[in-house]
Amino acid sequence: MQLKLTFLAPIMLSSQALAATDTSVVENSQITQSQTQSLQQKAGQWGLSAEDYQRYRQLMNGPRGIQSPGLDPLSVLGIEARTPAERREYAEKWVKAEYARAQKELEFQREINAAWQRLYPGRLPVNMENAAGVVRDTDGRLALFVKSKDCATCDARLKAVLAGDREVDIYLVDSQGNDDTLRKWAREHQIPVDKVRARKITLNHDGGRWMRFGNGLMPVVLQQGEDGWHIAAF
């Protein structure tokens, strides 16, 4: 009887070890499956494959993540494209995504405009309906808040403001107080020197004003009215 018990103990221990191993394998499999599903879901939001999104994350863990923190997957993959065909593919995906975003914002903006008329008639509303994205009236000085890097919409908004020949105070939110950065950006964007000298255009470091007045929108245009600054376009 003692001999049988001696052999039975190892058998029971072996069964327990196998059960623990099986449980660990199942748990690891569930974790892997969950991670895969999460990756596919995030990739799908940008119209990408899981492999594309994995490459985006790898790129953001390298120099690109330091150079362009927070940059969207389509822009990152397009900038870091390995072939011209790949770059063209991501550019088209970016344009489609941007078009869809703009349509949603325009639809919401129409509702905002209607709400302004109902709740605050006669007050300056947010205006996004014109193609340039700048308020149509010409009264009041503008303040434009832009980023210097990776912001195509910032460049488009700047061109619209300059084309409208408006007096504007331009604030660079990522200049970090560096005058050379501000001057370099102004040269690259062909800011008219004569208007800067005449103070029709001023170049400024942000100094926290963007978060205080721009509600975190980027880019954003403010217009000066009788009762202060109002968001005019973004």
- Asked if residues 187 and 193 have their Cβ atoms less than 8 Å apart, the reply is no
138 and 92 inside one domain: no
Higher per-residue confidence, 35 vs 97: 97
Report the alpha-carbon distance of residue 46 to residue 57 in Å, rounded: 13
86 and 131 inside one domain: no
Stretch 94-98: mean pLDDT, rounded?
86
Dump pLDDT digits (tens) for 100-158.
887 787 687 678 767 877 886 765 444 433 434 444 455 678 889 898 887 888 888 88
4 and 77 inside one domain: no
Report the alpha-carbon distance of residue 144 to residue 173 in Å, rounded: 10
Number of domains in the chain: 3
Buried b / exposed e along 166-180 (16+ C-beta atoms within 10 A): bbbbbbbbbbeeeee
- Asked if residues 170 and 144 have their Cβ atoms less than 8 Å apart, the reply is yes
15 confidence band (pLDDT: 50, 70, 90): low
95 and 176 inside one domain: no
CATH number at residue 228: 3.40.30
- pTM score, whole prediction: 0.44
Report the alpha-carbon distance of residue 116 to residue 120 in Å, rounded: 5
DSSP 151: -
Long-range contacts of 199-202 (CB under 8 A, 24+ apart): 200/167, 200/168, 201/167, 201/168, 201/169, 201/170, 202/168, 202/169, 202/170
**Quick check: 170 pLDDT over 60?**
yes
Report the alpha-carbon distance of residue 160 to residue 162 in Å, rounded: 6
233: β partners: 221
Phi, psi of 104, deg, nearest 5:
-65, -45
**Quick check: 93 pLDDT over 80?**
yes
Counts of helices then strands in the chain (DSSP H, E): 9, 5
**Domain final residue pick, 123, 158, 184:** 123
Whole-number pLDDT of residue 136:
47
93 and 176 inside one domain: no
219: β partners: none
Report the alpha-carbon distance of residue 25 to residue 32 in Å, rounded: 10
180 and 216 inside one domain: yes
135 and 212 inside one domain: yes
Dump pLDDT digits (tens) for 186-196.
999 999 988 89
